[in-house]
A and B are shown apart, each in its own frame.
Chain A
């Protein structure tokens, strides 16, 4: 049996005046129902472009999308715009980072949830409104009967995010894409939203793609992690594999550079030198090599050829794209990286 969501060799590129931007380059992954995949990367790593491709939102733009995006066996990329539109909101939906920008300021929150529901269900407006109230109640909005007639600006940031989740889930989608759903929120509200998404996933058995740059948020929500750098998948594995025993030097750098609540706070953070590359002139070979501290252990290969995505010693599930020999990699991690985490 094939997976619920299967992305095969996805490439997204944008022609620009300065040259072709290869935002996503040969990305492949799978996701089952009821599971969460965390896509992690810095700005410009291609994580949001990937999610827009899955929703078919590049259709009609200048983007050039190749590869297959199979949801329940149907290829989204091969479909016409109007076919995808009938699936959007129904089979798959999305919650965005900035709820204030994603909600329409002229319509009430209830109106916007009803609209999404009416498009996909042949019901009366009264039934749709009942559904909107039910969904608002489910996502924890107090007094949903009254608040359903409020406008977005009358909601607080956390409530807007809840309303957007209510809208996204109103038609019971099988796939939910959450693009930085908690980045704009305060920590105490972020914790509430993370709990809510987790509860809703259990209830509806939704497959979730969580796009984030926050390793703490993925650690608390995801089953698998896909780590992206300059449009490429550079490591894939379970949450434990990636956050406790990662194989890629970029993952080591990320883990050692984040400030934490444990460990010695007086020690300088191990920052990754340099900046993420521009997608117009991606470095040759491994895109991370100009910032990598271990290039000298490999030599020419790092700048000459792009490493293959290959299974690690941890098993066929854990994949990494790095020229370092796997035993050397493990030695470096155990002796140089792990003691500093």
Chain B
């Protein structure tokens, strides 16, 4: 399988606050040395808790942020440090769906203008004209094409998210980064949007990077899942392996923390309770970043940072994998 996206040693350090006039600035190590690739048409899930760098990763890949180090190769082209103008033709194939359907749509533009904006910015005239294509797109995402002239405030959260999806879909991209696309939606609407994204992914053969904190949601969408912790990937595996045989202690803990809906199954599940919170990315722990909350940690975990290694069918970064 050919890969559409290759990420190597991707790093983003944000400048933090200064403690004195001539002092050194803090560095927030949001993403630190990330490597993974995405095959054409593949749906990969990126999961982790807040502050683990999953959204920063999505914004780096779509080049909404400038990477500090590392390499991003999209469709065979090195896009790591391309300028905005150089990125423009590439954005036809690389789109993003945002988390907040209220903040990501311009309230003063009609739905038609919003969904047509990729054509306008790219200077592209689709076959049959922009209006016809926009109406087709609205229909594909399950909206009434006659709502072309309405404004975002006339739509519910789920419908707004569909507008954002139509916009991302407009130029028939090869890769869509979906950053928490359903976490702002009600439960009954969440399922509709997950089903829609899944249909689009298979129908148009689009590769997806699905960023989410909810492991159960990712399980219903992704074929392969990467788990992030404090700026780094700790485990990547195909979906069934990751959910049935997690190898990294953090993956195990994360899975066991998901609340169980069936009251009779609560007792039968293994309970791992992590203590404390995720450490501060300004000053992450030495060695393995998870060691401060890990029940398996030993001396070596503080001195050497584990690399992502192939174990069975999973890749795991741990000195003592399961």
Contacts and interface: CB of A to CB of B under 8 A. Distances in A.
B239 A265 contact: yes
A191 interface: yes
B158 interface: yes
B83 interface: no
Contact of B213 (A187, A192, A194, A220): A187
Interface stretch (B93-101, B252-260, B296-304): B252-260
B262 A243 contact: yes
Contacts of B65: none
A187 B254 contact: yes
B140 interface: no
Interface stretch (A48-56, A91-99, A156-164): A156-164
Of residues B257, B261, B278, which shows the largest number of chain A Cβ atoms within 10 Å of its Cβ? B261
Contact of B216 (A186, A191, A260): A260
Contacts, number: 125
Contacts of B124: none
Given A159-B277, A195-B273, A268 B261 contact: no
B117 interface: no
A137 interface: no
Interface in B195-225: 195, 198, 213-217, 219-220
Contact of A261 (B186, B188, B215): B215
Contacts of B195: 268-269, 271
Contacts of B264: 240, 244
A214 B261 CA distance: 9
Given A254-B187, A257-B188, A269-B195, A239 B263 contact: yes
B239 A268 contact: no
B191 A257 contact: yes
B83 to A, nearest CB: 36
A246 to B, nearest CB: 12
Interface string A244-287: 10000000011101111110010011111101100000000000
Of residues B253, B254, B259, which shows the largest number of chain A Cβ atoms within 10 Å of its Cβ? B259
B156 interface: yes
B162 to A, nearest CB: 11
A217 interface: yes
A244 B260 contact: no
Interface in A140-194: 142, 156-159, 186-192, 194
Contacts of B239: 265
B216 A261 contact: yes
A268 B192 CA distance: 9
A216 interface: yes
A229 B262 CA distance: 22
A187 B191 contact: no
Nearest to B48: A186
Nearest to A257: B191
Contacts of B276: 142
Nearest to A184: B50
A191 B259 contact: yes
A43 B188 contact: no
Of residues A192, A240, A259, A270, which shows the largest number of chain B Cβ atoms within 10 Å of its Cβ? A259
Contacts of B259: 190-191, 194, 214, 216-217, 219-220
A159 B278 CA distance: 12
Given A187-B213, A271-B191, A265 B219 contact: yes
A240 to B, nearest CB: 5
Nearest to B215: A261
Contacts of B189: 271, 275
B159 A269 contact: no
A259 B265 CA distance: 16
Given A158-B277, A186-B213, A244-B264, A265 B220 contact: yes
B266 interface: yes
Interface in A56-93: none
A187 B278 CA distance: 12
Contacts of A187: 49, 213, 215, 254, 257-258
Nearest 7 CB-CB pairings of A with B: A216-B259, A271-B191, A257-B191, A186-B49, A269-B191, A259-B216, A272-B188
12 contacts: A186-B50, A188-B49, A188-B257, A191-B257, A216-B260, A216-B261, A255-B261, A259-B216, A260-B219, A265-B219, A268-B198, A276-B186
Interface of B: 49-50, 156, 158-159, 186-192, 194-195, 198, 213-217, 219-220, 239, 243, 253-266, 273-278
Given A186-B49, A243-B261, A275-B158, 15 more contacts: A42-B186, A157-B50, A186-B278, A190-B259, A194-B259, A240-B263, A243-B262, A244-B262, A255-B261, A258-B261, A259-B194, A269-B220, A271-B189, A273-B192, A275-B159
Interface of A: 42-43, 142, 156-159, 186-192, 194-195, 213-217, 219-220, 239-240, 243-244, 253-255, 257-262, 265, 268-273, 275-276
